Structure 1
Amino acid sequence: MATAQLKRAIFFAPAITVIILLVDSNVMAGVKAYPSENVITFHATGQPGGLIDAEKAIDINVKSAPKDWAVRYQALTLKGSEGEISPDRISVNSPYTIEYEKMDSPRVVVKGDNEVTTPIKTGPVQFRLQTTWKDKPGTYTGLLVSPDGAQSINVKLIINPFTSMILDPASVYFEALGFPRVFDAASEIDVKVSSNYAGWTVSCMATPLSLTDKGSDAISNERIFISSANTKNYRDEGAGGGFKKMNKSVILGSGNQTPPVDLDRLRFRLLTTWTDKPGVYDGDIIFTFMVSP
């Protein structure tokens, strides 16, 4: 029985943090307000395409304000060495919003009817960000700015690399009964892959099969064959047209920033000979997931 094992080769690209400081030309005098945190941080781990909450909620400390005042915040584009995150993907929830509201325009996070002469604290103010499969791993930074004179808030987004490969089933089994010839595996293997890297390639190769408890007796990996979409035009190498020997790495597919996708179903064959001793043989089919930033 040949067992399929998953091995990944992942290379990480260093990210450069860029802090962008902007001055809003529409600052309105009168309100003196400060957030309880100078930075809000989002950490995107796991499968992309979902909503992530900032690590902390914040309060808004208002030191002074005239009658009928409000503090609004608007998000600016987050930028990093790997791209940009648009403001409409950041949203805010406060006592003065309706659930979460997109921050591509100013959103009220705190307000009051009466003049503020004694400092007050209002909150919590919570932030959320929508991730997508097109977001490359790296660090992105930007600002939340207030047209009402409140202190700006730095925003930091860290997107972790993500790759996934699922094999179903996770093993290959041959039952070689009768005279030596080419045998098909008992089942085919489905491969599902996903990655937020700019480029990826999946390949596999087989190890020789060793007779259990008798390591000196082996079946060469030149007699193990695979058929996939990428091998359909291969000439007959001993197991029929479209089947490729697995003594060398065989590319199964490639792509970029891919949500979960099924590769073509994999078929396997084994060629036995009269010199193969009866018994149970074990080996590996090694799958490699190579990525590039």
Structure 2
Amino acid sequence: MLHAGETTMMSAAPSPPTTFEVAARTEGLTKIYGKGDAQVVALGGVSVDIHAHEFTAIMGPSGSGKSTLMHCAAGLDEATSGKVFLGDVEITGLKENDLTRLRRDRIGFIFQAFNLIPTLTAKENILLPLSIAGREPDPEWFARVIDTVGLSERLGHRPTELSGGQQQRVACARALVSRPAIIFADEPTGNLDSKSSREVLEFLRRSVTEFGQTIVMVTHDPSAASYTDRVLFLADGRVVDELREPTAETVLERMGRLDGARGV
């Protein structure tokens, strides 16, 4: 049951266990921008669990708070009030140095803009987070990631020598190579054509199914959401619905219902 202002998602698919390991969660998360007449409530007391080893999509109309929720959950934006946990660690109470270290060691990021360093090769871009952390890659894991993402013949190429889809697959491999506890992906297929989008989404799906990765993806695309295990729907800064085992059709239907409820 959804309660105004605070929502905890506990629905289960037909066959999995009735309880889920929680990779991240928010409690009463509020984010307010501006003051007075210019005040905007981007998140209005959101409580939600992100299940481990699942692919979760966050969807909603423009201005619903979906990117704000992801950025606060990932420690990229500071909440106005409420709490954010990564596993058992409350990140809302961390000092900046500790938060930076946690993001580096336990969180992977994939953005709509690929955010690759143009002077580095694909391999150097993939290994950059480990290099910054002073860690050596696990050769077996690195090889498996590269094989899965299909970039073995492009590792020596710089970003300008790669297609958009290949650049995003480099970004996906970079997020995965350090084996983070969770990966946050913000519109990862937003700049890609349909073929490249499908390749990236298939890679993300495989990384959950085969590697047990946990991924949270903000998207506006019902086809992209159909690759996930679970869709959370936001409206006006609150989680108002969820869907398990989504298809493009069922996501469209829920989005249409949501628009109708808002009088759009």
Q: Is the shorter-chain TM-score for this pair beyond 0.5, marking a shared fold?
A: no
Greater fraction helix: 2
Q: Which has the larger radius of gyration?
A: 1
TM-score, reference length from structure 2: 0.22
Greater fraction strand: 1
